[in-house]
């Protein structure tokens, strides 16, 4: 039986010289550019026409949306900045007041000599100056707490809560004094301090505040 016989079933296909490998059937030939039919089981092969899936879908840090600060926290932060501005103004006025009292005491000594009134004036100026420094220090604390709201932890939360409670208590003391003196301006001032301190403390006690400072950071 010769390979040249066209009716030979074991010979190479017609039109193909001997020695060539047999052609693959059209159904088994790969088709580049077109997705192949998935095998039995419905699981598509990883190859042409199919996008590769990530090895760890939903991995932390890949598709995480940035967390936003709760509204009550943002309100407390703004109030801290407002309180800091008021404290800075109070500290500056207190320093000017201490300097004025000290100058008046010096002028009295030059005119009447050293006496008890000049000594009281110098002592008062010193006390007011110390109070001014304390107020400016509290202003720095207010600004620091407000800035640390973005990345601070439980220490910032507890400090702000205590700070707000003390501010509300300070407002209560002003309110008692305003009620005794019958001053409407002091009454408004006391209510502002009570409101500001109460909001700051409530923001730290609220579950949203605790969750904000306990949030994971990547």
pLDDT at 7: 61
Gyration radius of the chain's alpha carbons:
41
Instruction: Report the candidate in 83, 54, 111 with the shortest Cα–Cα distance to residue 192.
Output: 83
Q: 103 lies in a domain?
A: yes
Q: 191 lies in a domain?
A: yes
The string of DSSP letters for 32-55 reads: TTSPPPP-TTS---SSTTSPPPPS
Q: 9 lies in a domain?
A: no
pLDDT at 88: 96
Rounded to a whole number, what is the distance in angstroms from the first to the last CA of the chain?
Answer: 78
Q: 31 lies in a domain?
A: no
Write out the residue range of the structural domain in which residue 83 sits: 71-212
Q: 64 lies in a domain?
A: no
Q: 217 lies in a domain?
A: no
Q: 26 lies in a domain?
A: no
The total number of structural domains that make up the chain: 1
- Tens digits of pLDDT across the chain (218 residues): 444 555 655 555 555 555 555 555 554 454 455 555 555 555 555 544 545 544 434 444 444 444 788 888 999 999 999 999 999 999 999 999 999 988 888 887 767 666 667 778 888 889 999 999 999 999 999 999 999 998 888 899 999 999 999 999 999 998 888 887 777 888 888 898 999 999 999 999 999 888 888 888 76
Q: 115 lies in a domain?
A: yes
């Amino acid at each position: 039986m010769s390979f040249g016989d066209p009716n030979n079933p074991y010979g190479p296909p017609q039109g193909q010289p001997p020695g060539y490998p047999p052609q693959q059937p059209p159904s088994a030939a790969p088709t580049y550019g077109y997705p192949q039919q998935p095998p039995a089981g419905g699981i598509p092969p990883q190859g042409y026409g199919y996008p590769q899936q990530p090895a760890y879908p939903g991995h932390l840090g890949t598709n995480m949306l940035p967390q936003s600060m709760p509204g009550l926290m943002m309100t407390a932060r703004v109030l801290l900045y407002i309180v800091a501005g008021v404290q800075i103004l109070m500290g500056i006025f207190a320093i000017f007041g201490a300097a004025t009292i000290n100058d008046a005491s010096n002028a009295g000594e030059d005119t009447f000599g050293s006496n008890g009134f000049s000594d009281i004036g110098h002592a008062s100026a010193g006390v007011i100056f110390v109070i001014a420094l304390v107020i400016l220090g509290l202003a720095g604390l207010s600004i620091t707490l407000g800035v640390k709201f973005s990345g601070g932890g439980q220490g910032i939360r507890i400090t702000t809560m205590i700070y707000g409670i003390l501010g509300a208590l300070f407002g209560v003391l002003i309110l008692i004094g305003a009620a005794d003196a019958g001053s409407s301006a002091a009454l408004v001032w006391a209510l502002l301090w009570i409101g500001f301190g109460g909001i700051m403390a409530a923001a730290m006690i609220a579950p949203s505040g605790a969750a904000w400072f306990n949030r994971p950071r990547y």
